[in-house]
Amino acid sequence: MSYNIVSLPGDGIGPEIMSGSLEVLQLLSKKFNFEYTIEEHDFGGVAIDHHGSPLPEDTLTACKNADAILLGSVGGPKWTDPNNRPEQGLLGIRKTLGLFANIRPTTVTDGTSHLSPIKEAKVAGTDFVIVRELTGGIYFGEPKHWNQDQALDSLTYTKPEIERIAHVAFKLAQKRNKKLTSVDKENVLASSKLWRQVINNVAQDYPDVEVNHLLVDACAMHLITNPTQFDVIVTENLFGDILSDEASVIPGSLGLSPSASFSEQGTRLYEPIHGSAPDIANQNKANPFGMLLSVAMCLRESFDEEQAASHLERVVYQLIKDSKTTSDLGGHCTTTEVFQSVKANI
């Protein structure tokens, strides 16, 4: 079996963390005996520079034909045209490929709770997943316009959009600890009233899953004060964007969190959630663990290479435990040195 992977290094620290991660992937393929091809394409700001668009047609075509997509990061202060931003490429690829479900795990592994900015006693044992709806809501709603005096964004959801993300979350909860927390703003927003109603209806198909509802502001508080209470969190696009970034610092660094974006059928996209970090780009300071853990998710979810995925995750978590990390996790290693340690342990 040979897998067709499209690599989108993107902007900022993206090329640094991507190149080393692909070297790790090559070692894993030899160790666990699987084959793949890599096709690299411009995406985001670099694509604007080279092609005038953040999502060139040949990049999109390659992504449509791929078995999986690995994305580094997108964006930076260099690209300021509001009508042609790197992030529009990300929204475009999500919409075109139907990547409606974003899965973002947050895990505090044994021996690493001291790295969290929150008290160790509160975060030890944290292990939950945020399921974020990715192609609806205020980012895509119409009408949308802005000028110097007025702006309008529309927050819209339909029943089928909510149902399909709900089924993803409930099925995931069934495989974990059978607890689902749905997050909305039902006391204020009409879209959230529909959201809660649909979640409750879908819940009838999953009687073994305990369902709890939280308002988004309360959830933001509980993520900090009692993160171990959560198993699977499901929420809409904007709330999921904010909450998952908040959750990502619980293990100690934004650079630790991977993510996967799924369609109903077809290509899946894997990326760390940390962004392009232009302030440290090309300085050999970037934490590559989020990218590496995204590769592990890719191996498991798209290619069913469970042994390779688990091995890579164990290597990453052991290096964190041994403080062989970049400075954001209290270590003294460069990006290159972290990759060297990962490869040595594979």
Please list the active-site residues: 139, 185, 217, 241, 245
Task: Take residue 187 and report the two structure tokens written for it.
Answer: 């006391």
Task: Beginning with the edge strand found earlier in the chain, give each strand of the sheet holding 2-10 in spatial order.
Answer: 35-40, 2-10, 68-73, 268-272, 258-262, 101-107, 127-133, 232-235, 179-184, 210-215
Query: Residue 308 to residues 20, 108, 195: CA-CA distances in angstroms?
Result: 17, 21, 38
Asked if 310 contacts 102 with a C-beta cutoff of 8 angstroms, the reply is: no
Q: Which of 205, 149, 150, 146 is nearest to 180 (CA)?
A: 205
Q: Output the CA angle 287-135-76, nearest 5 degrees.
A: 40
Query: What is the C-alpha to C-alpha distance for residues 322 and 317, in angstroms, rounded to an integer?
Result: 9
Q: Which of 267, 246, 235, 249 is nearest to 132 (CA)?
A: 235
